[in-house]
Structure 1
Amino acid sequence: MPGYKVHVSGSIVAGALVLLGLANIGLYVIDPQQVVVLFVLCVLGALFPDIDTDSKGKRIYYSGMLLLSLTLIYFDQFQWAAYLGILAMLPGISAHRGWTHTWWAMLMVPMPMLLLPYYVYGQPFPTLLPYYVAFVTGYFSHLLLDREL
């Protein structure tokens, strides 16, 4: 079973391949600032399936979530901080290699990134899709490296 370093590396490779592939066929125009956010989401997606165990990946993941939550609170985005907090607690209610290691979780866990901004702020799906795809790509790389697909 690969450790967090392999999962982080795998997500970066998978993210780069997807990003370059989409840019090559004209479905994505590379924006350097957005690319940083996309790679962070890709790495978080790769770490997410193992946050139900005591691991280095779990500590990195929750450190990132804490930083993001504090940033949201600083900018008076309490509603988003609350959504993030609820989502961050979900893996704690299952056993390792439970629902977090399934293909349907790979698609459903990042779904709030599409639905909440759409329904709460009226953001169009095309502007949100890169973030969803980045998280799913990282998650996919984790499941692939764990041979769970």
Structure 2
Amino acid sequence: MTGKTHIAIGIAAALTISYGQPLENQSVIVLVSAISSLIPDLDHPKGKINQKILLVKNNFYRVSFYVLVGIVFTYLYYLSKLKFLLFLGIGSFLVGISSHRGFTHSIVGFLVSTTIVSLGKLDYGLDSIYSGFIIGYFLHIVADLFTSKGVKLFYPLNNKISFPITIKTNSKFEKILFRLLVIYCVWLLLIQVI
């Protein structure tokens, strides 16, 4: 799936789940869900987020960047003893060495990522951020299960898993799905205002 479809899925689900909550909570859940719906693609040099932060869009540079970030976070952990920095270091290192649709698209990657965010939630009371993160990240993996390439759901096992019904990335069907999700999001926003 394309990045914009992942974002649309994350926003639609977040708006649905947070429906009726105070505007502040709903805004945070939707924003974080939109961002976290792109995080699994950090394992690809041309993922939406990597297009913004990587100076060179190739796999060697991506690996070097995330391994270096992992080392920096681990060093900061040893200076401060803040657990989430250690998890960020480990997570960044694993993102760096992961192949596309590997670690970040797996159950293990999901659990590591949500643990990192959970530590922030416990320390700083960021419940809305945690909820939005889970929604976006989880649905990214589910959406990629509908692609013919599938995901390494049980990483480090090398088997790629996909659903029997698949959607070709950037196909006419995906474009229709994207438009329907946008219409649904606009409708949800309108019924809340009325």
Rg larger in structure:
2
Q: Residue 115 of structure 1: CA displacement?
A: 2.0
Q: Residue 94 of structure 1: CA displacement?
A: 1.1
CA distance in 1: counterparts of 2:93 and 2:34, whole angstroms: 18
Q: Residue 116 of structure 1: CA displacement?
A: 4.1
Distance verdict in 2 for CA 1:7–1:95, change over 3 Å: same
Name stretches of at least 5 consecutive residues in structure 1 with no aligned partner: 24-28, 64-78
The one-letter amino acid of 2:15's match is A
Aligned to 1:35: 26
| Larger RCO of the pair (alpha carbons < 8 Å, separation 6+) | 1
The one-letter amino acid of 1:142's match is H
Which of residues 34, 47, 54 in structure 1 aligns to 2:38?
A: 47
Name stretches of at least 5 consecutive residues in structure 2 with no aligned partner: 55-79, 146-150, 154-194
Which of residues 144, 147, 152 in structure 2 aligns to 1:146?
A: 144
CA contact (8 A) 1:52 1:58 kept: no
Percent sequence identity is: 25
CA distance in 2: counterparts of 1:51 and 1:114, whole angstroms: 20
CA contact (8 A) 1:51 1:61 kept: no
When the two chains are superposed, the root-mean-square deviation of aligned CA atoms in Å is: 3.1
Q: Residue 117 of structure 1: CA displacement?
A: 5.2
The one-letter amino acid of 1:143's match is I
Alignment of 1:1-149 (within 5 A): 2-20=1-19, 23=20, 29-30=21-22, 32-59=23-50, 62=53, 83=85, 86=89, 87-88=91-92, 90-116=94-120, 118=122, 121=123, 123=124, 127-147=125-145, 148=151
Aligned to 2:63: none
